[in-house]
Structure 1
Amino acid sequence: MRKSIPFLVAAAFAAAALGYYLFGRGVAVTVATPERGLAVDSVYATGIVEPVNWAQVSSLVPGRIADIRVHDADLVKEGDLLARLDDREAQANLRQLEVREQYWQEELARQRALEARGVASRAAYERVQSDYLQAKAATAAARQRLEDLNLRAPIAGTVLRQDGEVGEVVDKQKILFSIGQPKPLRVTADVDEEDIVRLAAGQKVLVKADAFPERALAGTVAAITPKGDPINKSFRVRVALPEDTPLLVGMTVEINVVARTTADALLVPARAVREGYVFVADADRAKRVRVRIGARGATRTEIVEGLAADARVILDPPATLTDGARIRVVNGAKALAR
């Protein structure tokens, strides 16, 4: 029994030594020092490539497509007939109203002659005149309804897209033709209202498209709508594209508007930054430092103020790490870890 006492004491010392090794020396951390470099502060959004000059054409009235006159890539002039809806009923109605108008026109002439001879009263003439004017207005409205069944080009250009088939019933919401000029092109994007104050006309834009995964295409902010969308909390931004852009109408793209560039910015690994602060190694203690963050990248973050250039920032600080906690640096990194 007495022999077991030294063994228990030795075990206790061993446990204490192990505990000190694991915990007493502090939390093991990896550090890196900031470096100077280019920081790009950009605003991200998605958008659609479209012509600068274009129009979408739909029917003013619902109906069945009877004839399609133009197709994809055809050239049209303003006013050209693009398609026609079934107008047989409208034609029959117009003929009836034209006959009615003709009748009242002849009756008006007869009443005018009778009044001139003193056979008919002025009141009778005015009643016939009123009926004639109503018939004439009804005929004009019928002619307009007939014309509304014709879809015409609102501008000159190229048929960028034609939808719908003969025999198909369409309503006023269906876009049947997109007409415009293939060049110049632009990107229309919706930018979050929180970011819109950082944008201005003339800023450079980097455009990425799935069709060109290895290329960063160029653009320029051309216009920002003065009024935002209160429902989606966004503003519409137009990005002008160069004449030689390989992008095509209708492509979905990602844009990054370069809001600000800093050539000699203080950069730290993105994995070191938490919401508004970083931890730095101060001897064997962790020190929480409040910082102001600038541009954020995939691997690096700009620190605008609050951090010394020679500070050793802690990478991936544990969630349990607190200000003043004991730490143990396990690397001697002097350069920025990427």
Structure 2
Amino acid sequence: MLRSLSSLWNCQPVEGGRPPRGSNLALFLACSLVGLVAIAGCRIPSETAQAQQAQPGQAGGPGGGRPGGGPGGPGQGGPASVETAIARSGALQEAPTYTGTTQPVRQASLRSQAEGRLLELGVDVGDSVREGEVVGRLDSRLLSAAVSQNRAELAALESQVAQAQAEVSDARAQAAQSEVELQQARMDSDRLQKLAAEGAVSQQQADQAKTAALSAEQVFRSAQERIRTREQAVVAAQRRVQAQQATVAETRERQTFSLLTAPLTGIVLERLTEPGNLVQPGNEVLRVGDFSALKVAVQVSELDLGQLRVGQAVEVRLDAFPDEPFAGRVSRISPAADPASRLVPVEVVIPNSGSRRLGSGLLARVQFQAGQAGRVVIPEEALEAGGEGNDSVLFVVEGDGAEARAVARPVQVGDRANGRIEILSGLQPGESFVLRSSRPLEDGQPVRLSILSER
């Protein structure tokens, strides 16, 4: 055939110049057809050989925790390709999630304790304040006038006390004089009574002396009563002074109310009045929140109440920061459920002392840990069939790089749910286990970690 092709390719034109037009066209078509057939015949054996060489390498099967998809089959040597995962503690079932809104852990209102026109208010919404810091001032002229008036009244009352005490002194002096006169009158009466008995003086003189003694005694008693009256007046005046002193102290304290101070350390949430407005006692001026921590109030179903306790750790996610979970704890569980909805108010506290300061009013999703969160949970497909009761086998990867080996390890399993299973014993958090393999594994078999392996 090659010879005929060669003769065709080497055909020469007829003597005497150009061949006839019809014969030249037929010859060209015949040469082209024969060339194509020759080229196709040469390529077919080559492709057949390549296909025959590729067939032995197609052994292997789909992968799982036991046999797996990938290059190589049971009959091939070398490490088996495996996909590994890291054992972690967790909950078998998804924990319930409840929504709430972030709020400052404490809130307080700054209210005026006195009446007056607001002169200054030096903070605005978002400003930080410290407890006791002066943030505003009221017009204190009326309070100052009241303090002055009360002090003047106090001085007048104190003068009344001094006057009453002077009257007591006078009464005591008069009483002392009356006592001396009484003693003299009694002595005269006694002497004249003796003389009258002896006949030295008349009985009338003796009787007059006795009457004078009785009069002196009456004067002395009146003087003593006057002393008691004056002393009572002093006590009453002193009590009025004490009352007025309390009034002065109260007025002075009210004068200090003209200085508005922050009720707690935090951030101003709301400014409710402006300078120039008249403020009455009890009017709210500012609202301050403590953002050292945030609280989230959620309504929990009574069915989940048995899983909650005060101090329990929870995970909180905010829609404002979807990729950043926040750790919190249960701070309060209401003792009473809503009789209509059967929901129980539960309060969760989130620390807020990090570099990112969270605000209030954010939508929060609170997830309470359910079940035995301390147990290792793995995909059920990683287990090898075998064992009795709750016993099974999985392969743990030991060693690194070329020294990696798959070691069969018996484990005790617990509950199963949603394709996941609890490991009660035999596997510790942080250990690497085989999730899928390219072929069935044996204890101690060398393995090579795939790019999908968790490290």
Alignment of 1:257 onto 2:367: yes
Aligned equivalents of 2:279 and 2:358: distance in 1?
A: 28
Q: How does 1:227-246 map to 2 (within 5 A)?
A: 227-228=335-336, 234-241=344-351, 243-244=353-354, 246=356
Relative distance call for 1:260 and 1:192 in structure 2 (3 A) is: closer
Residue type of the alignment partner of 1:187: K
CA contact (8 A) 1:185 1:243 kept: yes
Change (3 A) 1:112 1:220: same
What is the DSSP-based 3-state SS (H/G/I as helix, E as strand, rest coil) of the residue aligned with 2:96?
strand
Q: Per-residue CA shift, 1:214-248, capped at 9, x if unaligned?
A: 43532221412565587996434132236447452
What residue number does 2:240 align with? 131
How far 1:185 sits from its partner (Å)?
Answer: 2.6
The code of the aligned residue for 2:297 comes to A
The 5-angstrom pairing of residues 74-223 of structure 1 reads 76-118=129-171, 121-155=230-264, 157-161=265-269, 163=271, 164-170=273-279, 172=282, 174=284, 176-178=286-288, 180=290, 184-192=292-300, 194=302, 195-200=304-309, 201-209=311-319, 211-212=320-321, 214-223=322-331
Q: Which of these residues, 47, 66, 82, is aligned with residue 101 of structure 2?
A: 47
Cα deviations by residue, 1:21-44 (Å, 9 ceiling, x for unpaired): xxxxxxxxxxxxxxxx95313141
Aligned positions, number:
227
C-alpha displacement of 1:252: 2.3
Question: Does the C-alpha gap of structure 1 residues 196 and 87 become closer, same or farther in structure 2, counting only changes over 3 Å?
Answer: farther
Do the aligned partners of 2:268 and 2:289 also contact (CA within 8 Å) in 1?
yes
CA deviation digits over 1:155-186, x for unaligned, max 9? 4x454446131023456363514164x5x432
Q: Separation in 2 of the partners of 1:197 and 1:43?
A: 15
Structure 2 Cα separation of the partners of residues 245 and 235 of structure 1: 30
Quickly say closer, same or farther: Cα 1:144–1:53, change in 2 above 3 A: same
Distance 1:161 1:117 in 2: 68
Normalized per residue, the structure richer in strand is 1
Unaligned 5+ runs, structure 2: 1-90, 173-226, 381-416, 421-455
CA distance in 2, matches of 1:149, 1:198: 52
**In structure 1, what is the equivalent of residue 391 of structure 2?**
none
Structure 2 CA distance for partners of 1:178 and 1:41, relative to 1, 3 Å? same
Does the aligned pair in 2 maintain the 1:65–1:167 contact within 8 Å? yes
Is 1:71–1:159's contact at 8 Å kept on the other side of the alignment?
Answer: no
Q: 2:332 aligns with which of 217, 224, 236?
A: 224
- Structure 1 residues 62 and 177, CA, compared in 2 at 3 Å: closer, same or farther? farther
2:120 to 51, 62, 67: 67
In the alignment, the residues of structure 2 paired with residue 252 and residue 131 of structure 1 have an alpha-carbon distance, to the nearest angstrom, of 59
* Aligned counterparts of 1:255 and 1:62: Cα–Cα separation in 2: 45
Q: In the TM superposition, what whole-angstrom CA distance separates every residue of 1:51-105 from its partner, at most 9, and x where no partner exists?
A: x576542323565422224445656554332222333333322221111112112
Counterparts of 1:199 and 1:43 in 2: how far apart (Å)? 13
Q: Is the 8 A contact 2:160 2:237 kept in 1?
A: yes
**Aligned residue identity for 2:284:** K
Change (3 A) 1:117 1:49: same
Question: What percentage of residue pairs aligned between the two structures are identical?
Answer: 19
SS state at 2:95 partner:
strand
Greater helix proportion: 2
In structure 2, the residue matched to 1:334 is none
Change in Cα spacing, 1:243 to 1:137, as seen in structure 2 (3 Å) is closer
Unaligned runs of 5+ in 1: 1-36, 267-294, 303-338
CA distance in 1 between partners of 2:113 and 2:337 (Å): 27
The answer to whether the 8 A contact 1:40-1:258 is kept is no
After superposition, the CA RMSD in angstroms is 3.9
Structure 2 counterpart of 1:127, one-letter code: A
TM-score (norm 1): 0.54
Structure 1: which amino acid aligns with 2:299? V
Contact 2:316 2:325 (C-alpha < 8 Å) held by counterparts = yes
Distance 1:205 1:73, change over 3 A: same
AA aligned to 1:104 is L
- Quote the offset at 1:136 in angstroms: 1.7
Report the residue type matching 2:246 in the other structure: A
Aligned mates of 1:99, 1:150 — CA distance in 2: 25
